[in-house]
Amino acid sequence: MTNSQNMDAALTSPSVARNRDPILAVLQRVLPASGLVLEIASGTGEHALHFAATLPHLTWQPTDQDEQALNSIAAHRAASALPNLLAPLRLDASAPDWPVERADALVAINMVHISPWRATQGLMAGAGRVLPSGGVLFLYGAYKEKGAHTAPSNEAFDQGLRRRNPEWGIRNLEEVADLARAHGLELVERIAMPANNLSLVFRR
């Protein structure tokens, strides 16, 4: 692939520029001092790029199941030449056969609401398989709490997601936490984030 093709493949998302530093502030506190971070549904790859650049003590493994996303991640990686940012892997969270058998932490940003519920089920099962005792699962996104939206903007966002795909939608935090617990993960921290989002920290 030429440099020009690389640049064409590298996608950008305006939301990444807005949320990457608030997310980073949490990750700097909760991620381990060293090891492999497996990112599920890395999308454009911009989060992986930013976090690998600012957390050089960690090795970052981006993944996605979408071909365009994988190409974008690879393009951002090639342009950055960061030694701790690994080549992207194709990973379907809902599948039982992940290409990574062990990770020190898992990160999934804006995945739970933009995927079918079976993807979250697979994410929790996978976290239970690959994380060591004390390993961290970090989730970021919009959630309902006690069955209610936390803001009118989230309710409108939820309706828009369900119009795009009836299997998508903002999930109940309590249901996500119950699912995590079934796979040996406890919700240890809920952090309010800008734009009515939440960071959720689970430990195995």
pLDDT tens, position by position, 39-72: 999 999 999 999 999 999 999 999 999 999 999 9
Average pLDDT, the chain: 95
Domain 3-203 has CATH 3.40.50.2300: no
pTM above 0.85, yes or no: yes
- pLDDT of residue 194 exceeding 60, the answer is yes
The encoded tokens of residue 27 equal 């990750």
- pLDDT of residue 8 exceeding 90, the answer is no
> Alpha-carbon distance 161 to 85, whole Å?
31
What pLDDT is stored for residue 178 in this prediction?
Answer: 98
- pLDDT of residue 95 exceeding 90, the answer is yes
What pLDDT is stored for residue 1 in this prediction?
Answer: 44
> Alpha-carbon distance 159 to 105, whole Å?
32
- pLDDT of residue 5 exceeding 80, the answer is no
Domain boundaries, the chain: 3-203
What pLDDT is stored for residue 173 in this prediction?
Answer: 97
Yes or no: say if 148 and 154 are a contact pair by the CB < 8 Å rule. no
What pLDDT is stored for residue 15 in this prediction?
Answer: 87
Yes or no: say if 112 and 171 are a contact pair by the CB < 8 Å rule. yes
